[in-house]
Amino acid sequence: MAYSDKVIDHYNNPRNVGQLDKASSEVGTGLVGAPECGDVMRLQIRVNPETQVIEEAKFKTFGCGSAIASSSLATEWVKGRTVDEALKIQNTDIVKELSLPPVKIHCSVLAEDAIRAAIGDWKKKNGVAEGAEVAQPTAR
């Protein structure tokens, strides 16, 4: 499969890789996907409690190059936005930016889910009214 230059760039130089303190009230964590489906994304945001601006974002992804690129791009895009602005990011924007082929659209959907899940987690911690929630894995 041929990858777009942008996918290759994110794969070779992934932005914002890492981990934020899950326990912090300023941090929201989204963990989406499933190992048996071949992709798992963890996207974390640190939100300024005064301004509700996402000041930091980190990710780690198990998945194909397109999944890595989608989540790397998602961290770039959420940074500097308020949580409400970040919720407006749609998977189709990611598809367009990375020129993902149809078979890789699910990677962009997962990245959008990851953003929503991280914001949902932050809102829950901070008692903010819930927006669209995304199912997250739970310990069983």
Partner 1 sequence: MSATVNGNGNGNGSVTAPAGVKLPIYMDNHATTQLDPRVLEAMMPYLTTIYGNAASRNHQFGWVAEQAVETAREQIAKLIGASAKEIIFTSGATESDNLAIKGVAEMYRERGNHIITQVTEHKAILDTCKRLEKAGYRVTYLPVKADGLVDLEDLKRAIDDKTILVTIMFANNEIGVVQPVAEIGKICRERNVIFHTDAVQAVGKIPVDVNKMNIDLLSLSGHKLYGPKGVGALYVRRRNPRVQISEQINGGGHERGMRSGTLNVPGIVGLGRACEIAGEEMEAESKRLIALRDKLKHKLEGSLDYIHVNGSMEHRLPGSLNMSFVYVEGESLLMGINDVAVSSGSACTSATLEPSYVLKALGLGDDVAHSSIRFGLGRFNSEAEVDYVADKVIDVVQKLRELSPLYEMVKEGIDISKIEWQAH
Q: How far is the CB of 22 from partner 1 (least distance, A)?
A: 11
Contact positions vs partner 1 (CB under 8 A)? 1, 3, 8, 11-14, 17-19, 31-42, 60-65, 67-68, 103, 106, 109-110, 113, 135-140
Pairing of strands 39-47, 27-34: antiparallel
Q: Using CA atoms, how far apart are residues 10 and 58, in angstroms rounded to an integer?
A: 14
Q: Using CA atoms, how far apart are residues 27 and 109, in angstroms rounded to an integer?
A: 22
**Residue 64 bears catalytic tag:** no
Residue among 45, 54, 78, 107 flagged as catalytic: 107
Cβ closest to partner 1, residue 27 vs residue 67: 67
**Residue 37 bears catalytic tag:** yes
Q: How far is the CB of 43 from partner 1 (least distance, A)?
A: 10
Residue 76 CA, distance from chain mean position: 9
Cβ closest to partner 1, residue 33 vs residue 120: 33
Q: Using CA atoms, how far apart are residues 51 and 55, in angstroms rounded to an integer?
A: 10
Cβ closest to partner 1, residue 59 vs residue 77: 59
Sign of CA dihedral 133, 106, 40, 80: negative
Residue among 8, 34, 37, 103 flagged as catalytic: 37
Q: How many CB atoms lie within 10 A of CB 76?
A: 14
Which residues carry out catalysis? 37, 107
